[in-house]
Chain A
Amino acid sequence: MEIPYTVEARPDTGLYNAKVGIWLFLASEVMLFGALFSSYILLRVGADAWPHGLLNVPIGMFNTTVLITSSITMVLAWANMKLGNPGKSRFYLGLTILCALAFLGIKTKEYHDKFVHYEVRMTDGTVMDGHLEKTSPDFAWGAGPNRFKIEKGSVEFQPIEKFDAKQFNVKRGETLTEVRHRLGLAKPGMLAPSHSHEKPVTLQASDIAWICNYVPRHSTYFAIYFTLTALHALHVIGGMIVLTYFWFQNPRLARIGRERYTNRLEVGGLFWHFVDLVWIFLFPVLYLL
């Protein structure tokens, strides 16, 4: 059976069917990401203190350029197919897939950096963030209502940023973000420190009032950060699967129907540029503002 209108335009729309299809799909995607963006706005205006500078801006900026580069290579893959150069087209398609892999690799590293980064609020009010170096043999995390505590044992902690309760007049229960805001350290253009000369400290379970690594349950900010970037990453993975199929099938598809394959590349490209477009908003919203 022949699939209708894969190459020639349908008289009423003036387009091949897949193009209308992908735009309808992208319209639904606009609403999906739009709903999450509006949630972000609502959560942010309702928040007492919004964190700044918790993400690595140079890495985020580099990843933005990786994704923009993948967009231009995608355009070149399609354009070369249209010009009748399947070999060149396949080359640019390969570059696009490599960019997608690089983007996901960098994103994985960023996620990992957050997972090993902890905020600790001490019972005397002192707040700090840093890394868990070592745990004692009897160490156990709290569970259920105590999931933000350590049940027993001790932990060796390497602080990166530390606000002593007495020195900085920290009230018990004040969060790191609130302290940083109060001291004027949380503004656009500022990054949280990534290295420190603080000495490692040993913390007993009873010293810790609250502890959590930078995962969705840490705060509203990380909840929306991980939701938006993970959904975006899923789109990158989805797009990459389709483009990889095209890369492997390139010689066959170009031989059996060059024009149809060109159109398939165009449709795949439209999705790919949309993923790039979403990131163009995600980067400033999550990393800079």
Chain B
Amino acid sequence: MTDSHSLEAFKSHLKVYIAVFVALLVGTFITVAAWKWANFPTLTLTIAVALFIATIKAFLVAGYFMHLISERKVIYGVLVTTAVFFVAMMYLVVYSRGDMPSGTAYWGNQGQATEAATKGAK
């Protein structure tokens, strides 16, 4: 059984959970408000802001609701391994962009591609 001291400590956790819940709702509101009214000069900045807020929300959920802030080493080990593979997988996208056959028209290489295609036609 839980003794009275740790029971009190656990009850104080409940307040933290409610605070995280409120923070998540506020985060959702800020995300939509920034999308609607902020008018960032570039799409890249809009994407960066929205994903930054989403990342903070994800850390709140994982850290407090999934109690990752105080977890055993074995769980951290699993997650670090996952993170490494996740980053490697995301890197494949970047890698694939640099691995196009020459002359292919693709994003970021329009000028060259058109030139190469014209030469080919001649």
A interface residues (Cβ-Cβ under 8 A, vs B)? 13-15, 19-20, 23-24, 27, 30-31, 34-35, 38, 41-42, 45-46, 57, 61, 64-65, 68-69, 71-72, 74-76, 79, 82-84, 187-189, 269-270, 273-274, 276-277, 280-281, 283-285, 288-289
B25 touching A65, Cβ below 8 Å? yes
B61 touching A277, Cβ below 8 Å? yes
Closest to B86 in A: A34
B54 touching A281, Cβ below 8 Å? yes
Closest to B87 in A: A34
Q: List which B27-63 residues lie within 8 A (CB) of chain A.
A: 28, 31-32, 35-40, 43, 46-47, 50-51, 53-54, 57-58, 61-62
**Bound complex: CA A189 to CA B43 (Å):** 11
B interface residues (Cβ-Cβ under 8 A, vs A)? 2, 7, 10-11, 13-14, 17-18, 20-21, 24-25, 28, 31-32, 35-40, 43, 46-47, 50-51, 53-54, 57-58, 61-62, 65-66, 72-75, 78-79, 81-82, 85-86, 89-90, 92-93, 96-97, 106-107
B93 touching A41, Cβ below 8 Å? yes
B10 touching A82, Cβ below 8 Å? yes
Contact A14:B72 (CB < 8 A) given known A79-B14, A83-B7: yes
Q: Which of B17, B58, B96, B106 contacts A79 (CB 8 A)?
A: B17
A189 touching B39, Cβ below 8 Å? yes
Contact A280:B36 (CB < 8 A) given known A15-B74, A27-B81, A72-B18: no
Which of B2, B18, B86 counts the most chain A CB atoms within 10 A?
B86
A72 touching B66, Cβ below 8 Å? no
Query: Which residues of the other chain, B, contact A61 by a CB distance below 8 angstroms?
Result: 28, 32
B50 touching A289, Cβ below 8 Å? yes
Contact A45:B32 (CB < 8 A) given known A273-B66, A284-B54: no
Query: Which residues of the other chain, A, contact B10 by a CB distance below 8 angstroms?
Result: 79, 82-83
Query: Which residues of the other chain, B, contact A84 by a CB distance below 8 angstroms?
Result: 2
**Distance between A37 CB and nearest chain B CB, rounded to angstroms:** 8
Cross-chain pair count, CB within 8 angstroms? 128
Q: List 22 A-B contacts (CB under 8 A).
A: A13-B74, A15-B72, A20-B74, A27-B78, A27-B81, A30-B82, A31-B82, A31-B85, A34-B86, A34-B89, A38-B92, A38-B93, A68-B21, A68-B25, A71-B61, A72-B65, A83-B7, A188-B40, A189-B36, A270-B66, A280-B61, A288-B35
Contact A27:B82 (CB < 8 A) given known A276-B61, A281-B54, A284-B54: yes
Contact A284:B66 (CB < 8 A) given known A35-B89, A65-B28, A68-B24: no
Query: Which residues of the other chain, B, contact A276 by a CB distance below 8 angstroms?
Result: 61, 65
Beyond A23-B79, A24-B78, A61-B28, 17 extra complex contacts between A and B, CB < 8 Å = A27-B82, A31-B85, A35-B89, A41-B90, A46-B107, A68-B28, A71-B21, A79-B10, A82-B10, A83-B2, A83-B11, A269-B65, A274-B66, A277-B58, A280-B24, A281-B58, A285-B51
Closest to B75 in A: A23
**Bound complex: CA A20 to CA B82 (Å):** 14
Closest to A80 in B: B14
A31 touching B89, Cβ below 8 Å? yes
Query: Which residues of the other chain, B, contact A19 by a CB distance below 8 angstroms?
Result: 75
Contact A280:B54 (CB < 8 A) given known A31-B85, A82-B10: yes
**Bound complex: CA A270 to CA B61 (Å):** 10
Contact A189:B37 (CB < 8 A) given known A61-B28, A68-B28, A273-B66: yes
